[in-house]
Amino acid sequence: MAFPRSGLRLPACAALACALSFSLAATAETPAAPTAAEASGARKAEAAPAPAPAAAGVTAPAAGAPGSAPSSASTSTPQAAAPSRLAGNGRADVGNPDDFTETPIPIPPPVPVGFLIAWKPTILSVRVDDGSGSRFGSDKFQPLRLLVRYTHLFQDLSPFVGRLEAEGGQFQTDTERTNIGSDGADFTLRATVGSSTKVSSFFNVLGSIGAITRYQWGRPTGGAPTIGVLGAVANSEFEFRVLPSCTLILFGEVALTSVPYFAQANLGELSDASEIKARLQLSFDITRNVSTDVGFEFTRWHSAFTQSTILGNANPTQALLIEDREFQLTLGVRFKR
């Protein structure tokens, strides 16, 4: 029995299509053999240490990426308000720097706050001149002299400080003249306020202004008259940190003391008075709160009088000049707060 050709051709084409589809499906399910380069990379990945857990806000690698296990869907952790990303070099990208607020940390100025107690042995030099030449001169050692100073910081982390300083002790001259002077003692008081400025990590400047008073008294057996003076003072202190535990201090001071009080009647009228002081000092830190100071100090007190009869003259002099020079060694202990 003969069959039409068209009926035989349709079943043959259907069978060929089914065989081709089964072959493609088998090829897709069978994984291809890895190449040599891919095998080497896999071995290196296995030998490398496991990566650290991702931080909050870091997106997990997508499925299908190289080196990741195949999965049906990719997942990621929830992002924070300011997400951080891993840049291509492996470092965390924290986002725009403008999104963060910087908080300044105040640094206290290196102000020597606390008490200073010092022994100041002095060589006292006194000169008296009435305009026609020196009428008196004396150079004498004064071992009994002390200095006490307190420095106060008005507010923590503030550069503004106040100082109260008292200095005095033995004040004597030679006894070659008995009509002028003081064989006794003197006392100087300073009260100042100022500000400290940190110029660099090893250099600090402290400037102050305030009031000063000085009074000297005793028996008239030397060349230093009995008198008190009051005025204004300004000083500057430069501190250099030369070693971790050693500071070099340079100090300078000027004062105008033109207001007299409790002066000898025969001294006349005070027309001019001033003070100049300079100090070179080394401070050594013994502990965190204690240091020792060693220094040399020079102080010059100058005063000019008119209508004076203190030299025993009958007629008042046109001018009387008195100058005190103090060469002092400073040995002190500072208790820092």
Tokens 């008075």 -> residue: 273
E-assigned strands of the chain? 85-86, 92-93, 114-119, 122-129, 134-142, 145-153, 160-171, 183-198, 203-219, 227-243, 246-261, 269-285, 290-306, 320-336
Tokens encoding 335:
């208790």
Tokens encoding 300:
């010059």
Examine residue 79 and state whether it is found in any structural domain, yes or no. no
Which pLDDT does position 108 carry in this prediction? 57
Examine residue 318 and state whether it is found in any structural domain, yes or no. yes
Which pLDDT does position 252 carry in this prediction? 97
| CATH code of 322's domain | 2.40.128.100
Cβ partners under 8 Å of residue 195, min gap 6 = 159, 160, 161, 206, 207
Residue 243 vs residues 118, 202, 234, 249, 258: alpha-carbon distances, Å = 23, 9, 29, 13, 42
Examine residue 9 and state whether it is found in any structural domain, yes or no. no
User: What pTM does this model have?
Assistant: 0.67
Whether the CB-CB separation of 62 and 75 falls below 8 Å is answered with: no
Which pLDDT does position 40 carry in this prediction? 58
Tokens 């040995």 -> residue: 331
CA distance 311 to 128: 10
Tokens encoding 218:
């005793």
From first to last of its 337 residues, the chain has per-residue pLDDT tens of 444 444 445 455 555 555 555 554 444 444 555 555 555 555 555 555 555 554 444 444 544 444 444 444 444 444 444 444 444 555 555 556 666 677 766 665 567 789 999 999 999 998 888 877 776 778 889 999 999 999 998 887 778 999 999 999 998 887 666 566 677 899 999 999 999 888 888 899 999 999 999 999 877 666 678 899 999 999 999 999 999 999 999 999 999 999 999 988 888 899 999 999 999 999 999 998 899 999 999 999 999 999 888 877 778 877 888 899 999 999 999 998 7
Domain that includes residue 272, residue range:
114-336
Examine residue 45 and state whether it is found in any structural domain, yes or no. no
Which pLDDT does position 333 carry in this prediction? 96
Examine residue 121 and state whether it is found in any structural domain, yes or no. yes
CA distance 274 to 63: 89
Domain tally, the chain: 1
Examine residue 28 and state whether it is found in any structural domain, yes or no. no
